């Protein structure tokens, strides 16, 4: 799972396997290991919520998605979901697509086929 943070926005990009894990297991998680601590980031499917929300505590970014959004996501053409939480944080969760131009040292074997295959630039 890829994580990008810019100012008051956070973006997650999920591979095919990670989308399937979220749909069927209800959770996908990754971590970035620093010398003194790890940063964990997790996306959870939540039966009890109707809004996308995010929280940060104990070195973990945790995003909750309504189960109604997640259901069937692995089999349909929806790219992703976005929302602003109550603090104005912009949250974006989306499928990770293969780039149109191969990138050296990047394994894209588990990424989704790019829907813009006829365009010249990677999204």
Walk along the chain (123 residues) in steps of 10 and give the mean pLDDT of each run. 95 93 96 95 93 95 95 92 94 81 66 63 48
114 lies in a domain? Answer: no
Output the pLDDT for position 109.
67
Output the pLDDT for position 123.
46
pTM of the model: 0.82
CB atoms within 10 A of CB 21: 19
112 lies in a domain? Answer: no
102 lies in a domain? Answer: no
65 lies in a domain? Answer: yes
27 lies in a domain? Answer: yes
Host domain of residue 89: 2-95
54 lies in a domain? Answer: yes
Using DSSP, state whether 92 is helix, strand or coil. strand
Q: Say which CATH number the domain at 6 has.
A: 3.30.1360
- Rounded Cα distance, 98 and 102, in Å: 8
75 lies in a domain? Answer: yes
CB atoms within 10 A of CB 92: 17
Output the pLDDT for position 32.
95
Number of separate domains in the chain: 1
**Eight-state DSSP code of residue 104:** T
């Amino acid at each position: 799972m890829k994580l990008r943070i810019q100012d008051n926005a956070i973006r997650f990009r999920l591979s095919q396997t990670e989308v399937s894990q979220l749909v069927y297991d209800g959770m996908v998680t990754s971590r970035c290991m620093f010398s003194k601590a790890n940063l964990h980031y997790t996306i959870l499917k939540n039966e009890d919520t109707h809004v996308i929300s995010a929280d940060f505590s104990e070195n973990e970014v945790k995003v909750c998605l309504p189960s109604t959004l997640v259901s069937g996501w692995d089999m349909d053409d929806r790219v992703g979901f976005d929302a602003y939480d109550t603090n104005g944080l912009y949250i974006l969760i989306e499928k990770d697509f293969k780039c149109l131009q191969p990138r050296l040292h990047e394994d894209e074997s588990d990424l989704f086929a790019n829907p813009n295959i006829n365009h010249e630039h990677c999204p």
